[in-house]
Structure 1
């Protein structure tokens, strides 16, 4: 029989694993151009804010992945790699943070297969909620790591387990 302390520790590990798997699923879903799979990672009313470009709900994420601009990236060769996440779980809510790289295939005359170049290096802050028994993204905020103070604020908030600040530094 598992006592309550061990049960709580086990639940913590299971939650962290489920969230890590959800976040890790984003790259393969968008690199496959699978708009349905990518959108399903979000809560119905969740948001995705990339450098001020706001996608609202699963439909917004779906539309981005299904767009000709994104599908062109997929057709040429791209890799969205999200690094390991730092995850803080509090009951049915969680915060996670990770950094990501987007690699794009670059054709040149010296390589038949082309090589890959880093297109973006980004800070990613996730707010998640357990909804209908599964973890879903309620808010993702991403900022390019180009010295932008908001990108640093997202990282700090994430690894300390707090909500993402708005652009002015508040919550």
Structure 2
């Protein structure tokens, strides 16, 4: 192999690695935008994180499909009550596995609420999340987020398992 071929190989490998890092960073930023969007009451900004027909399943509570449902949840009375009383949706950095123009991931979400009687915050909910993302013309977007309370249920804990382990159950 001559030096030019070797250099081309190095450049191709570096390009592949840079693309992978860019994908990981963009998806992580997408997830990081969720909490501030919903906690500020910006339903459209929250909904825009999803594909047009994307789904958000809050297991045991409700399932939203599409931008209108997701935006409507943020603008709804229940969510507005939470944020008026002091609430933070805190998502941990997701573990992300990219496969071309698709990706999967998992992380934790904490719902932290202000308790005025105790003059402190309390963790009201800890949940597992399983994500599916895809690359669109607008960048990476959420195809599906499944969010389930970590209440001891094996099926909810399973959301945190690597995708290969979840598929074998």
- TM-score by length of structure 2 reads 0.89
Give unpaired runs (5+ residues) of structure 1: none
Partner of 1:94: 103
Would you say 1:31 and 2:60 are equivalent positions?
Answer: no
Question: Deviation above 3 Å: which 4+ runs of structure 1?
Answer: 161-165
In the alignment, what sits opposite 2:144? 139
1:95 and 1:162 in contact (8 A); partners too: no
Unaligned runs of 5+ in 2: 1-7
Partner of 2:59: 51
Shift of 1:162: 5.2
Judged with a 3 Å threshold, the aligned counterparts in structure 2 of structure 1 residues 67 and 164 are, in CA distance, closer, same or farther, namely farther
Greater per-residue helix proportion: 2
What residue number does 1:15 align with? 23
Residue 3 of structure 2 is matched in structure 1 by none
Residue 50 of structure 2 corresponds to residue 42 of structure 1: yes
CA distance in 1, matches of 2:22, 2:63: 31
What is the DSSP-based 3-state SS (H/G/I as helix, E as strand, rest coil) of the residue aligned with 1:155?
Answer: coil
RMSD of equivalent CA atoms = 1.9
Distance apart, 1:22 and its partner CA: 0.3
Structure 1 residues 13 and 146, CA, compared in 2 at 3 Å: closer, same or farther? same
Deviation at 1:3, TM superposition (A): 1.2
Question: What residue is the counterpart of 2:4 in the other structure?
Answer: none
What is residue 74 of structure 1 aligned with on the other side?
A: 83
* Bigger radius of gyration among the two: 2
Cα distance between partner residues in 1 of 2:28 and 2:90: 13
How many residue pairs were aligned? 160
Q: Is the 8 A contact 1:93 1:129 kept in 2?
A: yes
Determine if the alignment matches structure 1 residue 122 to structure 2 residue 127: yes
